[in-house]
Each structure stands twice: as structure tokens, then as C-alpha cells.
Structure 1
Amino acid sequence: MVDDPVRRLDEGALRALVPRVLAGLVRRGEDFDAAEDALQEALVEALRVWPEHPPRDPRAWLTTVATRRLVDARRSEAARLRREEATYAQPRGRATEEGDDTLFLLFCCCHPDLSPASQVALTLRAVGGLTTREIADAFYVPEATMAQRISRAKRTLRGRRLDQPGDLAVVLRVLYLVYTAGHAERVDLAAEAIRLARQLTLATDEPEARGLLALMLLNHARLPARIDTEGRIVTLDRQDRSLWDGREIAEGVRVLQSALAVQTDAAPPGRYQIEAAIAALHDDAMTAEETDWPQILAWYDDLVALSDDPVREHPAAVLARAIAVGHVLGGAAGLRETDRVREVIGERHRWHAVRGHLSELDGDLLAAGASYAEAARLATNVAEHEHLVRQAARVRATVRKGAS
């Protein structure tokens, strides 16, 4: 077990170092599973040795010790491993190399033969440096279940040469899944996804990578205002915007602008850049009333235009666009847009919740109350259920007050 060394040593520095060492081992042809096991043994040894004899170059030290463990396990390849050990013991401190290592390991963890759940789990384990228990806690599953999932993923990769260029789009999707997975008591997955996205932008100039980082930053900046002191959800239009993280918003805008600056008619902005632009417009409004809904609707038009069949391929984007339509053209127009995706989305709480909001915009509070109540009935998340119950009660109270 390496939980103790991860906690007792400088956690931030160690987590940044571990994937670089692991990437170096895997890049030179070591089996993924064996390399990680060797690195775990090196970390245990570091806990024993470093307090009294701290290394001058921690990365080289870990690489050397991990390599020795591999040598011990595979005597027949000792000569080759010893030759390579000298190379990997050399200090490498450039940010571009660190980014290259992270990108390489991300591609390994996002191998197309792995399921999305396995890609996310392996990314958090190998690249994020999280323990199996931390990942299990984050996804609310038993530690043994997560350990089996990670083991299966590593068995799937066993014997494959991990030296071919991967698909950056898959890596971005996995990071987005990590970001949207939520928060657990011990691990903030959103913050972890942002950290990994920063590393990814060190290794590629792809605008969509910066678009994803910007989207994460601009959304994460609103986190302090999303829950009130009693633990209740606060919708965007009712949030105390003074609680938003202005520094994070400014950084997100700068990252987004750098991505959009290189776009052309032949290579227009992709999904993450567009979603980041929408988030930036929300963050730019000092009050909900000042939100630039026409510009947001224009960006949503661009977003759905990325797909030949947005209703079936990206129904969530079409549903989000319906809200923008409601604010620009009226609630009734927005409600008509939701009809387009009802068959695809089905009877899900999100669809009814949007209908409730748009019915309020349209002035039909009876319909709004019914939609909120149905959304609450279908919601599986406790916080969302309670929020929707309060929404239904609020509009129904307004109706009763108006009738008296």
C-alpha cells in the first residue's frame, strides 16, 4: 500500500512526479501493470529513505529504484534495463517534457480498447496519482470494485505496444467525464480534471484542449455559490455572484481567447470552445438580468450545427439551447424546442425541469408547478430532488397567493 507515502510526502509534488516516472517506464516498453507495481515499491522505499536521506533528484531516484525492481523481476532482460536506467536517471525539468509525459500517459489510459469507465479510472490512478480508495470514494463504489475495474483495464493493455499516437478527442472526453463526475468527501474530481487539463495544454497546441480547460475554469469559478449554507442547490439566476472566483474567471477567459484566436473559417471552434464561450457570457453578467442571451443563443446555434443530427447525437445541447430560445424569443418558443428532444431524452427529470423554467417564462405557473413536481418525482439525486420540490412549492404558492 502506498496511501501513507502519498499523504505524508509533499502530495502535490509527488502526484505531479509519479505520472512522469510511470510514463518514462511505459514509453520504453515496460508492461503497464509491471511498471506501476515497480513504481509503487519505489514509493514505499522513498517513505523509508527520504526523511533522512532526501534525494537531489527525486524523479531520477524513483526511476532508478523502480527500474531495479523490474530488473529483479525479469533477470533475462537485466542488461537492457541497466543501459536504459542511466538514461532515465538524467534530470529532466523542462515543462514541455513534463507535458509530453502526461500526454503520453493520458493516451495510454484512454486506449480505445478500454470502456469509458475504465479509461476514467485508469487516468485517475496512473496520471492523477489517486489511490484506489480515493477513486472508489469519488464514484461511490466499494474499493474492491474499483480495484477490479483498474486491474481489468491494465490486463486489457497487457502485451500491447503503447507507442502509437492516440486520439486527442478521446483524451478530452475522458477529462470532461472526470470533471463532470462531481465531488466526493476526499477527492475533488473537478479540481483534479483541471490539473490534468493544465498538463495537457503543455503538450499540445490543439485549441480544443485549451477550450476544455477554459470551460472547466469558467464553470468551476461558480462553485462557491452553487450551494447555500444549508446545503441546498442555488440556481444560476439566484446565485450570489460576489462569491464567484474572479481570478479563475479571468484565467478561463484568457485561455479561451488564446484558443479562439487561432480559429479560421476552415477550422471553426469546436464543442469545448463553444461551451466555454457560453460559460464566459454567463460569468460576465453582473446580474442574471444582464445576461447576454442573444449572444448565448448564437453560440448554441453554432454548437448544434456541429452535428448532422443534434437531436439524437447531442440532445442535452438542444435542450440547453431551448432555454436560450425561451429567454430571447419567449417561453412558448422555448417550450416548442423541447418537444424536439422529448422522444430522444424520454421521461427524464432534466426535460421536465427545463419545461418548468420555460413555463415560468411564459407566465403559465400552473404548468410550471406540474413540470417541477414531475421532475422531482423522477430525480434520483437527493439534492436535485429537494431543489425541484422547493421549485414546485414556490410557484404553487405564488398561484395560491394570486388566487386569494
Structure 2
Amino acid sequence: MIEEVFRAEHGRAVAVLVRVFGDVDVAEEAVQDAFTEAVRRWPADGAPPSPAGWIITTARNKAIDRLRRDAARPGKHAQAVMVNVVEAAEVHTVEDERLRLVFTCCHPALGMQARVALTLRLLGGLSTAEIARAFLVPEATMAQRLVRAKTKIRDARIPYRVPEAADLPGRLSGVLAVIYLVFNQGYGGRPELGAEAIRLGRVLRELMPDEPEVLGLLALMLLIESRRDARLVRGELVLLDEQDRGLWDRGLVEEGRALVRRCLEIDRPGPYQIQAAINAVHSDAGDTRWGQILELYDQLMVVAPSPVVALNRAVAVAEVEGPEPALGLVDRLDLGRYYLFHAVRADLLRRLGRDARAAVEYEEAVRLTENEAEKAFLRRRRSSLDGSRPPAKGLAGDQCAEGDREADHLP
């Protein structure tokens, strides 16, 4: 129960407390203290009627207590004034409260990766270790980035608000990157984060209805999300080509495809729009049109080149030209810490009959991934090399459909 509330409400609670106190550290520490108190009290007393409200109120009180203690020390007059102001304020939620927090964390004064990492921490409640894995960096490195980002927000007095309409375009790329990384964490096993990312995408669309990259990101998330129920059946991963399309959410598919068509009408292509178009092709009935997908990846490599995009393009090359040229492309990439790099190499080596080398790559992919369903799938692929050969398609093809999912290679 407490874990579910934490996942669903951590971001909202931090956002409300940032608005009330104007300090990220105060807000985050107070919310953590409130959840610690819930762990202590709820098992014995039972959960309150409104768990989210209880968390926010408890966090507010704990923050006031902490600021009051600090105000009693020499040189703490500013905190004393803040306590008096806060005690007169009401804690209430605002419809776009979390969006305010996203824009605060995505201020241009912060580096791109710091923006994404901080929002994943504050909005999604992800641990430092989880964020470090998303960025493919050591945990200590990520901890330092988070500390520096919060210090910058405090020292630069970065405002907690949605920017004015004229300032939105300049702040957009960081916000889109944040939302997509939040979505990817949800798709990787925390569905409440996926739902939150889509909600934020819809709010952004209302703010910027004619911005094609906003439409493209929302379309991309909807098309990927539409396959969630078909991708994992009884705990086992089902590849895209083998999925029961009757389990796809047709409403999300049609909404996503309509957004892609709108992007084509605007005709200002960007990375999220192209990835959405790739997913739209995958959502077509009948055989996958790999030639069209390869053309889209060629365009994506011009608009937003990255090692992961190149890896995905190599998957399409394998379907159009064969595994040998694709393997040559993959071997040029420096993605040794990325599990799908090894999964792609394993699939290509298997298709070329190089089973011993494929087995090594499958084992490395298993070692690097944190997703248990993907671990099990890769282990089955590895085991099948010792007996009957598996179908031609592997996890690589699904990666090609799902796009650039790593924070270290943001557009």
C-alpha cells in the first residue's frame, strides 16, 4: 500500500511542497520524512482515507518543524520569516502543479542531463541508482549531478512556474526529454510513471497545440503504450511480430496515428515525430514495411544522430539487406554498457550461424539489463542455441520499434 502511494504521489507531494516553501531540498526531505512516518504508523493505525492528502499535510508540518528548528539558530532569520509565511498558507493542489516542477527542473541554467535526472528524482521518486542506470553512469556520478542541480536551482533562484508563452519554445527540448524518460521508466516496469508522462504530454499539447515535436512525443508514447498488454503475457515477453494485436489498445493506436498525420501536415520534422512515424508503420496491419522504416531511420540520423539511433537503424538494415552488413554497422558503435547493443549483436550473430559468439553476447545482455522479463527472454534465446534454433526475429526488432530509450542519447 505505502509503496503504491509513494509511486503514485511522490511527484505531486514534492511539487506542492516546492510551491509552498520555494526550496527543492526542503520539499524533498519533508516528503521523504512523511513517507518514513507512514511506514511507521500506517501498518498499525491503518491507511488514512486520503493517503495523498495525509502525505502532503504531514510533509508540510515536518518541513515547518525543521525550518522552525533552524530558525532558532544564529543567522537563521530568513527561515523564521519563511515559517511565518508558510503557516498562513494553505496546501492545495493545482492542475498543472507537476508541470510547474518539470519546467523548474528543466530551466536552461541546468545542463540537459541534470534537468532530466532531477525531474526523474523529484517527479517520479526514482532512486539515485535507478537514474544512474538510465543514464549508463556510476551511481556516485549521478548523486553528484543531483546535488549540483538542486544547489543551482536554490542559488540562482530559479522560479517555480510554467514560462510565459513567448519563452516556451526555448525551454521545450529539455521538457520533452524529461517526459520521454519518465515514460520509459514507466514502460520498463512502473506503469504509473508512464501514465504520468502521457498526462504531462497532453498538458503540453494544450499549452502548445501547434508545436509538432509536442505532438510527435505524445504520438510516440501513445503508440508504444498501446502495445503494453500484448508485450507481456503471464510474465513473459512477447515480441512485436508475435503479439496478439487484439490486445492492443486501438483507441491509443488511432489517437497516435492521427497525431502523426497532423505532424505530416505541419511539415517540420523532428526526432520525436520521426520515431512516432516509425511506430505508426509498425502499427499497420500486415507485414512490416522495413524499407520505409529504414528510410525513416536515415532521416532520424540526419535530424538527431546518436549511437542508439544508429543501433536501431542497423536492425532495419538487417531486415532489408541482411545480417552481415548490419553487424558491420553495429560493431562500429561504442555501446558496450548498453544491454540492447549486446542483444542486437547476439541476434545478428545467431542469424549468421555464429552460435558460440552469439551465446557470449546473450550472456552479456542478461548481465546488463535490469528488466526481469527481458532477462528471461534473453536466457531462453541463449539456451535455444544448444538445441532447436529460435525464430529469426529477436529482442532487437522490438527495440527498433520502441525507439531511443536511453537517457545518455537524448535528442
Please indicate the TM-score interval, normalised by the length of the shorter structure. Answer: 0.5 to 0.7
Kindly tell me the number of residue pairs found equivalent between the two proteins. 351
Give the distance between the partners of 2:387 and 2:261, measured in 1 at CA. 40
Match of 2:283 in 1: 283
User: Aligned-pair distance for 1:350?
Assistant: 3.5
**Consecutive unaligned residues in structure 2, runs of 5 or more:** 164-169, 370-374, 392-411
Give the distance between the partners of 1:336 and 1:54, measured in 2 at CA. 58
TM-score by length of 1: 0.65
Match of 1:362 in 2: none
Q: How far does the alpha carbon of each residue in 1:331-381 deviate from its partner, in whole angstroms, 9 at most, with x for none?
A: 2xx632442342224775234235247x4xxxxx635x5664453244324
User: Aligned-pair distance for 1:21?
Assistant: 0.9
**Consecutive unaligned residues in structure 1, runs of 5 or more:** 360-364, 399-404
User: Aligned-pair distance for 1:234?
Assistant: 3.1
8 A Cα contact 2:253 2:283, kept in partner: yes
Q: How far does the alpha carbon of each residue in 1:268-304 deviate from its partner, in whole angstroms, 9 at most, with x for none?
A: 222122112111221232x4xx223333223222111
Larger radius of gyration: 1
8 A Cα contact 1:352 1:374, kept in partner: no
Higher relative contact order structure (alpha carbons within 8 Å, sequence separation ≥ 6): 2
Query: Of residues 91, 109, 112 in structure 1, which corresponds to 2:110?
Result: 112
Query: Of residues 329, 334, 337 in structure 2, which corresponds to 1:340?
Result: 329
TM-score by length of 2: 0.64
Cα gap change, 1:37/1:317 in structure 2, threshold over 3 Å: closer, same or farther?
A: closer
Percent identity between the aligned chains? 30
Residue identity matched to 1:385: L
Residue identity matched to 2:241: D
Match of 1:243 in 2: 247
Match status 1:296 vs 2:293: yes
Cα gap change, 1:22/1:173 in structure 2, threshold over 3 Å: closer, same or farther?
A: same
CA RMSD of aligned residues (A): 4.8
Q: How far does the alpha carbon of each residue in 1:179-217 deviate from its partner, in whole angstroms, 9 at most, with x for none?
A: 445778xxx335414413422541452433442333233
Give the distance between the partners of 2:145 and 2:279, measured in 1 at CA. 37
Match of 2:97 in 1: 98
Cα gap change, 1:147/1:183 in structure 2, threshold over 3 Å: closer, same or farther?
A: farther
Q: How far does the alpha carbon of each residue in 1:85-135 deviate from its partner, in whole angstroms, 9 at most, with x for none?
A: 65x538664x4x436424334426x97358x4x76664344212x375xx7
8 A Cα contact 2:98 2:123, kept in partner: no
Q: How far does the alpha carbon of each residue in 1:141-171 deviate from its partner, in whole angstroms, 9 at most, with x for none?
A: 9xxx989966872465233422397854334
Match status 1:126 vs 2:126: no
Match of 2:396 in 1: none
Query: Of residues 13, 25, 32 in structure 1, which corresponds to 2:20?
Result: 25
Give the distance between the partners of 1:238 and 1:53, measured in 2 at CA. 44
User: Aligned-pair distance for 1:237?
Assistant: 2.0
For residue 274 of structure 1, give the secondary structure of its aligned residue in structure 2: helix
Residue identity matched to 2:254: A
Which aligned pairs between 1:1-400 and structure 2 lie closer than 5 A? 12=8, 14-15=9-10, 17-25=12-20, 30-39=22-31, 65=61, 68-69=64-65, 72=68, 73-74=70-71, 76-77=77-78, 78-79=80-81, 82-83=84-85, 89=90, 93=94, 95=95, 97-98=96-97, 100-107=99-106, 112=110, 116=113, 122-128=118-124, 130=125, 153-154=146-147, 156-158=149-151, 159-163=155-159, 167-181=171-185, 188-189=189-190, 191-203=192-204, 204-205=207-208, 206-229=211-234, 231-258=235-262, 260=263, 263-264=266-267, 268-285=268-285, 287=286, 290-307=287-304, 310=305, 314-328=306-320, 330-331=321-322, 335-345=324-334, 348-356=341-349, 359=351, 366=353, 369=355, 372-379=358-365, 380=367, 381=369, 382-390=375-383, 392-393=385-386, 396=389
For residue 344 of structure 1, give the secondary structure of its aligned residue in structure 2: coil
Residue identity matched to 2:246: S
8 A Cα contact 2:381 2:390, kept in partner: no
Cα gap change, 1:119/1:388 in structure 2, threshold over 3 Å: closer, same or farther?
A: farther
8 A Cα contact 1:21 1:59, kept in partner: no
